[in-house]
Amino acid sequence: MVLVGVAGCDKLAGLISSSSPKATVTEPASSPMPLRPHILPDEILAKVNDRIIGTRDLELTLQDLKSTTDALGRTWTTLPAESQPDQYDLHDLLDELILAEVRAQDSVARGLDRKTDVQTRFWVRYRNFFSQEWVSWQLEQVKQEIGEQEVEEYYTANRWIFRDPAKIRVRQLMVSAEDQAKAALVKLLEGVEFATVAQQMSVRPEAAQSPLVEQWVMRGAEKATFVASTDESVRALDPVLEQGAFAIDKVGGISSYLKGADGNFHIFQLVERQDGREKPLAEVADPIRNLLRLQKLSEKSDALRKNAKIDTFVERLSNVHQP
């Protein structure tokens, strides 16, 4: 989150193409606020009363701006260092930080930092900030702990995970009655084109306009394991249809008619088959390292919880006001 003022926002837009008793909490005396790092003279960009804004302040703010831009799927544009009358530039960003600083100083001068609600919101952000810093630091630490042997051992023990399942691409003809299915199958066996029979007889909505709709199909158990639930490029069939479709032994071949769970009768034609394959270690080594890093991070987090003195009062959760 970028904490800057509203000045210059017109140019910034163009950059991106009932009361209950309150508990009191005493913060540990051993948890002081982080000290402001020393800023070298040639890194000073502005002085606001007794506070300094340095180059690193702008760099971190720029990183936040770019992350926001990327998250929106937009293209990030580098800000010019020279002042531009019609374009958001580094001068504007510095002005934003100066405005943020004078506002912050005035807030403290007016005692806003002593308001209970302000203090609570501050410490929520403080906690979350250092939690994320801990995660980032630990991920760098565990990266050094993971060797090639550990990666190879994980791959060997979980080899079944690292594979591309077999899938087939099929055309489908669907009718509502068995006598229709028999008639359609006879025509196909006599050599009538699948597209012609589908256009004449199929009750699938798309058949009249495009009888050659082709779908990639994967076995249901493998689709559930290897394909994201939101991925609509591959579908699964009910068990009876799946067995019949995968039993077609050659491209261009057709299945017998099959009664599906929907009560209709289906005939499939095989368009393409992709056999399953096991991914080599070199192809999955990086994902394995990332997975191992997350596992180690989880272990270290669990160790922290185990060693901490934690008391919970879950019966008070009903007092939490939700938006």
The residue to which tokens 């029979």 are assigned: 197
Tell me the sheet residues that pair with 175: 265
SS3 69: helix
Contact call for residues 195 and 211 (beta carbons, < 8 A): yes
For the residues of 100-127, what is the DSSP string, one character each?
A: HHHHHHHHHHTTGGGSHHHHHHHHHHHH
Q: How do the pLDDT tens digits run along the chain, 323 residues long?
A: 444 444 444 554 444 443 444 444 444 444 557 788 899 999 999 999 989 999 999 999 999 999 999 999 999 999 999 998 889 999 999 999 999 999 999 999 999 999 999 999 999 999 999 999 999 999 999 988 899 999 999 999 998 889 888 999 999 999 999 999 999 999 999 999 998 998 888 886 555 455 456 788 988 888 887 777 667 778 888 999 999 999 999 999 999 999 999 999 999 999 999 998 999 999 999 999 999 999 999 999 999 999 999 999 999 999 999 99
Contact call for residues 113 and 119 (beta carbons, < 8 A): yes
The residue to which tokens 């689709």 are assigned: 223
**CATH 3.10.50.40 residue spans of the chain:** 164-278
Of 156, 142, 169, residue with least CA distance to 290: 142
The span from the CA of 9 to the CA of 96, in Å, is 9
**Which CATH number is correct for 164-278, 3.10.50.40, 3.90.1640.30, 3.40.50.800, 3.40.50.300?**
3.10.50.40
Three-point CA angle 243, 248, 251, nearest 5°: 145
SS3 234: strand
Of 212, 234, 216, residue with least CA distance to 225: 234
pLDDT of 11-31, one tens digit each? Answer: 544 444 434 444 444 444 445
